[in-house]
Structure 1
Amino acid sequence: MYIKLNENKKKFLISVIVNTFCVIYSNFSFYGFSVMQDIKMNSLFNAKFVVSNVVDIVPVPPKLKILNWEIILLPIIKQIFFISEIEVNSILLISKMKNATNGTLHTDRATTALKNIISQDDRFSIVTSDQLNKAYVALGLLWEDNLESCVTAISLGRYLGAKYLLYSIVKGDIKHPILELQLILVKTGEIIWLFKDVI
């Protein structure tokens, strides 16, 4: 059926159709944009979540073993005082205790404890920190060496005119560390006394 419309009605109908199309297109664009935004936001959230999981992974800190060195070392060092071959008033170099375990130890405290215990007996004259500093400079050594190498410690002992070297090292599993102490004759490198046991 064909309906004849005048020009005004034609213009009105065309206007209605165009406006309706614009409204539909506008709504589609808006909701389509919202959906896309939601997708993007979800993707971004998931990405942030993944990154957050990666960042939140914290490395396991090294194992730390806290020991009362004074109590541990006192009965051990007393054994040295009963060695008949020791010359009275001889110069003794005490090396910095070396940590060769799979964890962390306060070896500075252990070295200090060694010096404190041995200084209570007058049969040894312990090399001072000042003497040690001068020897480091003279021999061109770095503080990173820390006397932890037995060979380095013996070289220092010879330079300082020490008769004996007390070398110490802790090794093995940190849960059951093994302490080793050696009293060494600096001139020959001979070990004249040895202690080795789990502490």
Structure 2
Amino acid sequence: MPPLPKMRVFNWAASIEPLVDNMLNVNNVVAGSVLLLDSVKNSTNGQLQSAKATEALHQKLASNKKFVLISANQLAAAKKKLGLSENDSLGSRTKAIGLARSAGAQYVLYSDIKGNVKAPTIDIQLMLVETGEILWSGEGVIGH
């Protein structure tokens, strides 16, 4: 049996923190608005632990004063209502916005890791659910 490929270890929290801090300064967002945090999508040329990136985003956003995050239970209920499996990693902005609407969120945070798996970058977009408009976008290199 061949050995499993070695999974690279990234410092997700340090990599996303400046992006999220920047995003939290966006104007035109009323404090207390409801945000759906979509699972981070892996569009690199290999495997990486995108669930850890999602968890780092969740932890960073959990203590902010601008957004109230949709809970895991609310997210699961909205996915069930739309006929999506609980493990569905949405993968498209359209699906993420539909799920956010179903969950009662005003905003959705869509994140995509792309490029070479050895030196990936992350794109994060804050979108207004009502119109699909991208209110803020940021990109950063993922550090080890």
Q: Normalising to structure 2: TM-score of the pair?
A: 0.90
Work out which structure has the larger RCO, using CA pairs closer than 8 Å and 6 or more positions apart in sequence: 2
Does the CA-based 8 Å contact 1:63-1:104 persist in structure 2?
no
The structure where helix makes up a greater share of residues is 1
Q: Who is 2:10 aligned against?
A: 67
State the distance in 1 between where 2:137 and 2:68 align. 20
3-state SS, counterpart of residue 114 of structure 1:
helix
Match of 1:77 among 12, 17, 20: 20
In structure 2, the CA distance between the partners of 1:127 and 1:150, relative to structure 1 (3 Å rule), is same
Does the CA-based 8 Å contact 1:163-1:187 persist in structure 2?
yes
Identity value in percent: 38
Q: Who is 1:169 aligned against?
A: 112
Does the CA-based 8 Å contact 2:39-2:54 persist in structure 1?
yes
Q: Who is 2:57 aligned against?
A: 114
Cα displacement (A) at 1:149:
2.4
Cα displacement (A) at 1:77:
0.4
Q: What is the root-mean-square deviation in Å for CA atoms of aligned residues?
A: 1.6
Does the CA-based 8 Å contact 1:95-1:168 persist in structure 2?
yes
Larger radius of gyration: 1
Q: Who is 1:48 aligned against?
A: none
Q: Who is 1:127 aligned against?
A: 70
State the distance in 1 between where 2:27 and 2:34 align. 16
Structure 2, unaligned runs of 5 or more: none
Cα displacement (A) at 1:192:
0.7
Q: Please state if 1:88 is matched with 2:37.
A: no
Q: Counterparts in 2 of 1:1-199, with a 5 A limit?
A: 61-62=4-5, 64-199=7-142
1:68 maps to a residue whose letter is N
